[in-house]
Amino acid sequence: MTGRPDDGTDPRLADALRRALARSAAEVQPAGDGLTKIRMRTAAARRQRWLVPLAATTAAVVVGGGVAWAAGSLGDRDEAPFAGPPTTSSSATPPTSSPTATATAGTTEVTVLPIPSATVPVYYLGDQPSETGIPFYKVFREFRRLPAVDVSDRAERVRIAVTEMLANEPLDDDYFGPWPQSAVVLDTSVDPDSRVVTVDFTGLEWTGVRAPDGRLVPEIGEAVVQQLVYTATAAASKITAEDEFSAAGLRLLVDGEPVDEVLGVDTSELLVRDPMGSQAIIWITDPELGETVDEPFAVQLVANLFEGGPATWELSQDGTLVADGLTSMGEGGKWFPYEFTIDENLEPGTYELLVFDAGGRGERDLAPYDTKTFTVG
């Protein structure tokens, strides 16, 4: 899609993982009272990428002491009503927990613990139809569980989210990431008073990097910069259900210095989200790509529908329409959570769900849309 590697060993995330382990090991102190049991909260079964099993199997070794790590969950900013990772219905495949392995070497007890991790939002670009036939791009969100030293450290969360945005392809093949393979995050910070997130890059070399439609990335510069703004500000904001912190915007540095322009976009001032220009009109948040569900199951989406909706949904198997209907009604002029239930006595198998809103343009081929492929058990 963008020429970035799809194998399982990106050097930037490997380096981030090594640094996380080194910093964690430095913080371990012997307690002398046995090892604290760990209970890692996990999301419902999702499609896994290389980093997830790596994070589950890479471990810290604690000898004769104890340490407890908890996985955090991260929500998005308030102006986009997505408070936390998508809620999974009880009919979805239940999560599985990574075991904690304990071994005895002589008289010394050695326990291998999963490294700490954080669930962070990462944004990618997806194309939407236009009257000219040349697609335009909007930002869509995915959630990732990634290694983190301190899940309450906003700057750390920004670093791992932006590094993931650079290093790996999205889970959904309908989305893409246009940032160059050469790009590396040098540093991140979050000012608690101004609420400004700063990300410092090196290696922003865009020559030859293209969008899926063949256009050079500078031609879609605004969308590319907004992808970064959404990812970084979401990672810094509302890191717990009680957290009211909302990032105000992003400062972009290159090699430690401010830059006036990136991809034709003015970056000399604070970069803020542009929902009306850049945020996906519709995206399906549950079920997620590759998930297994049992009927009946709820479909959840966030959308800014024409006059509040409803939108149309269609469920297909092997290209054949098997069910369709309308979403719930919402509020016009704003992004709003929508939901509907599918209970069609479906045969087990793989299905594709399409949700689109033809209300504004009146033409299906020009309607904003999103799709998800999942399995009915």
What are the angstrom distances between the C-alpha of 338 and each of 90, 161, 273, 295, 314? Answer: 18, 27, 22, 19, 15
Amino acid 112: pLDDT = 64
Query: Which secondary structure element, helix H or strand E, spans residue 353, and what is its range?
Result: strand 349-356
Spell out, as residue ranges, where the chain has pLDDT lower than 70. Answer: 1-114, 360-362
| 359 Cβ contact partners less than 8 Å away, ≥ 6 residues apart | 305, 306, 307, 309, 311
Amino acid 79: pLDDT = 40
Name the one residue in this structure whose structure tokens are 């079920």. Answer: 287
Amino acid 145: pLDDT = 87
Contact between 281 and 304 (Cβ < 8 Å):
yes
Amino acid 108: pLDDT = 61
Name the token pair of 231.
């990812």
Q: Helix, strand, coil proportions of the chain in percent (round to 5)?
A: 20, 35, 50
Query: Which domains, from first to last, does the chain contain?
Result: 11-276 (no CATH), 281-376 (2.60.40.10)
Strand partners, 106: none
Amino acid 240: pLDDT = 87
What 3-state class would DSSP assign to 307? helix
The DSSP secondary-structure symbol of 302 reads: E
Name the token pair of 141.
């969100």
Amino acid 64: pLDDT = 31
Q: What are phi and psi of 100, to 5 degrees?
A: -100, 120
Burial 2-38 (b: 16+ CB within 10 A, else e): bebeeeeebebbeebbeebbeebeeeeeeeeeebeeb
Amino acid 77: pLDDT = 42
